[in-house]
Amino acid sequence: MMKAVLGLEDGTVIKGTGFGAEGTACGELVFTTQFTGYEEALTDPSYKGQILMFTYPLIGNYGVSGERFQSDNIHAEGLVVREACKNPYHYKSTRSIHRFLEDEGKAGIEGVDTRALTIKTRERGTLRAALITGSDDGEEAVEMARNFPQISDQELISLVTCKEAYSIPAAKGAWKGSGNPRKAVVIDLGIKRNILKNLSKRGIDLTVVPATATPKEIESYEPDLLFVSNGPGDPELATDAINAVKHFAGTVPVCGICFGHQIISLAMGARTYKLKFGHRGGNQPVKDLVENKVFITSQNHGFAVDADSLEGTGLYVKYLNTNDRTVEGVSHKDLDIFSVQFHPEAHAGPTDTEEVFFGKVVKVLGGEV
């Protein structure tokens, strides 16, 4: 059994059993309440800079199959669970979560009272943490956690964006509407595969560009739509993307998901702020204030758009979280600009809003839903 220790910036030391690779991991300790979808979550680039903890105690039950990855690699810095399943079973599984972490060089700790840690996070707000496997030196872990920079001081986008632009053709014959398939430029700030899949399967030709792409570069692809992706960290640091949105707002339709939603709001003049401990899970209720409908959504965000700051931006609150009444989506009263804080593409999580969001994208492009 490999030793392992988790140290928090408040001095908390938790000892457990290590799994995956031997090594260290530093980051914000965040929790998600989804009980399935650990492969999707681990490979979601939005978790860059964060140590991921599952509130559900048993993780890894159905093993790992590459089919469900949201990017090529694990992006979460480390994994904290009550129990990682050693003997998984699923007809598609090719390896255990232990093996997966080991292959990816990531550290995990199990045997942790994750509920107690969740309550601490809820009460104290997100804390920085360090996970060391192969050692149980708590003091060192606490020290590392304290020395690690705050998430708002970390430039994480460059670690997850694509190196150069690439294109994804629209699924053949999928475009419903007049004319040729429309073209969208996607600013990749660490995009999840399933967003790309959802756009292309609706007949949209995609050009994925790096986070640093300039308006000129984007213009060269003659987009019918600008899409801003999800991604890690503080949205205020995504200055290039903010500038791009500013440039195109009003000329081409702009939409985005999660981090992209925050960036669009910032570009339009709103403010964002860090939530106490964020929303991460597949059970978050949001209300469409226009249609008066409630949806269950998948979410993963630590920052949010300040509702009061929307005044004068042309944006209004379209979706509200009915739990804590934070902004979950905005739309522009005159322009084709809309974004959602939640994840309509799910993976992991419920797909209840997939058609609502991506259908709207198609409609904005002149297609039929």
Partner 1 sequence: MPKRTDIKKVLLIGSGPITIGQAAEFDFSGSQACRSLKEEGYKVVLVNSNPATIMTDPEMADAVYIEPLDAKIVAKIIEKERPDGIIAGIGGQTGLNITSELAEMGVLEKFGVETLGTPVEAITNTEDRELFKETMLRIGEKVPLSRAVSSLKETEEVVEELGLPLIIRPAYTLGGAGGGIARTKEELLEITERGLRRSRINQVLIEESVLGWAEVEYEVMRDANDTCIVICNMENLDPMGVHTGESAVVAPSQTLTDEEHQMLRSASIKIIRALKIEGGCNIQYALKEGDYRIVEVNPRVSRSSALASKATGYPIARVTAKIAVGMTLDEIVNSVTKNTPASFEPALDYVITKIPRWPFDKFTTADKTLTTAMKSTGEVMAIGRTIEESLLKAFKSLDIDSQLGQKDWDAHEITTLLKTPTSERLFVIFNALEKGYSIKEICELSGINPFFVSKMKKIVDMEKRIRVEELTPELLREAKKMGFPDSRLSELTGKSMAEISDLRHAAGIVATFKMVDTCAAEFQAATPYYYSTYEDSCETNPTDRKKILILGAGPIRIGQGIEFDYCTVHAVTALREEGIETHIINNNPETVSTDFDTSDKLFFEPLTLEYVMNVIERERPYGVLVQFGGQTSVNLAIPLKKELQRRTDLDTVIMGTDPDDMDFAEDREKFHLMMEELGIEQPEGGYATSEAEAIEVAKTIGFPVLVRPSYVLGGRAMEIVYDETELQRYMKEAVRVSPEHPILIDDFLEEACEIDVDAVCDQQDVLIGAIMEHIEEAGVHSGDSACVIPPQSLSEETLEKVREYTRKIALALKVKGLINIQMAEKDGKVFVLEANPRSSRTIPFVSKAVGIPLAKIAAKVIAGHSLKDMGYTDEPKVKHVSVKEVLLPFDKLPGADPVLGPEMKSTGEVMGIDYDFGRAYFKAEIAAENLLPLTGKVFLSIRRADKPKLVEIARKLEAAGLELMGTSGTANYLADHGIFLDTVKKVHDGSPNVIDMMRRDEVSLIINTPTSRLSRRDGSRIRRAAVDFKVPYITTIQAAKAAADAIECMKKGNLTIKSINEYHAEIE
CB of 299 vs partner 1, minimal distance in Å: 11
Query: CB 112 → partner 1: shortest distance, Å?
Result: 9
Nearer to partner 1 (CB atom), residue 56 or residue 175: 56
Assigned token pair, 92: 């598609």
Distance in Å, CB of 207 to partner 1, minimum: 28
Residue 258 appears among annotated catalytic residues:
yes
CB 78 within 8 A of CB 48: no
Identified catalytic residue from 9, 40, 328, 345: 345
- Cis bond leading into 174, ω under 30°? no
Q: In angstroms, what is the minimal distance from the CB of 276 to partner 1?
A: 11
Chain centre to alpha carbon of residue 103: 23
36 vs 220, beta carbon nearer partner 1: 36
Q: In this structure, are residues 35 and 138 in contact, taking their beta carbons and an 8 Å threshold?
A: no
Question: Which residues lie below 8 Å from residue 77, measured CB to CB, with a gap of 6+?
Answer: 25, 26, 27, 47, 48, 49, 50, 51, 52, 106, 131
Count of Cβ atoms closer than 10 Å to residue 115 Cβ:
12
Going by the DSSP 8-state scheme, the letter that residue 358 receives in this structure is H
| C-alpha to C-alpha distance for 356 and 316, rounded to whole angstroms | 18
Catalytic residue among 258, 279, 328, 332: 258
**All residues at 6 or more sequence positions from 149 whose CB lies less than 8 Å from its CB, including other chains:** none
DSSP tally for the chain: helices H, then strands E: 10, 19
Q: Which of 98, 247, 343, 347 is catalytic?
A: 343
Minimum CB distance to partner 1 smaller for 36 or for 239: 36
The smaller minimum CB distance to partner 1, of residues 243 and 351, is found at 351
Q: Is 204 helix (H, G, I), strand (E, B) or coil?
A: coil
Angstrom distance (rounded) from CA 171 to CA 336: 24
Give, in order, the Cα–Cα distances in Å from 231 to each of 49, 61, 155, 236, 345.
11, 27, 11, 12, 14
Residue whose CB is less far from partner 1, 260 or 350: 350
Q: Measured from the CB of residue 101, what is the shortest distance to partner 1 in angstroms?
A: 18
Strand partners, 166: 208
Q: What are 279's strand-pairing partners?
A: 301
Q: How far is the CB of 245 from partner 1 (least distance, A)?
A: 31
The minimum distance between CB 313 and partner 1, in angstroms, equals 27
Phi, psi values for residue 290, rounded to 5°: -80, -50
Q: Is 279 a catalytic residue?
A: no
Contact residues toward partner 1 (CB under 8 A) are 14, 31, 33-37, 39-40, 55-58, 61-62, 65, 68, 82-83, 85, 87-92, 113-116, 118-119, 122, 281-285, 287, 292-296, 322-323, 346-352
- Nearest residue (CB) to partner 1, 12 versus 200: 12
Compute CA 105 distance to the chain's CA centroid, rounded to the nearest angstrom: 21
Q: For 89, left (φ over 0), alpha (ψ -120 to 50), or beta? A: beta
Residue located via tokens 């669009």: 264
**CB nearer to partner 1: pick between 39 and 234:** 39
Neighbours of 331 (CB within 10 A): 20
Catalytic center residues: 258, 343, 345
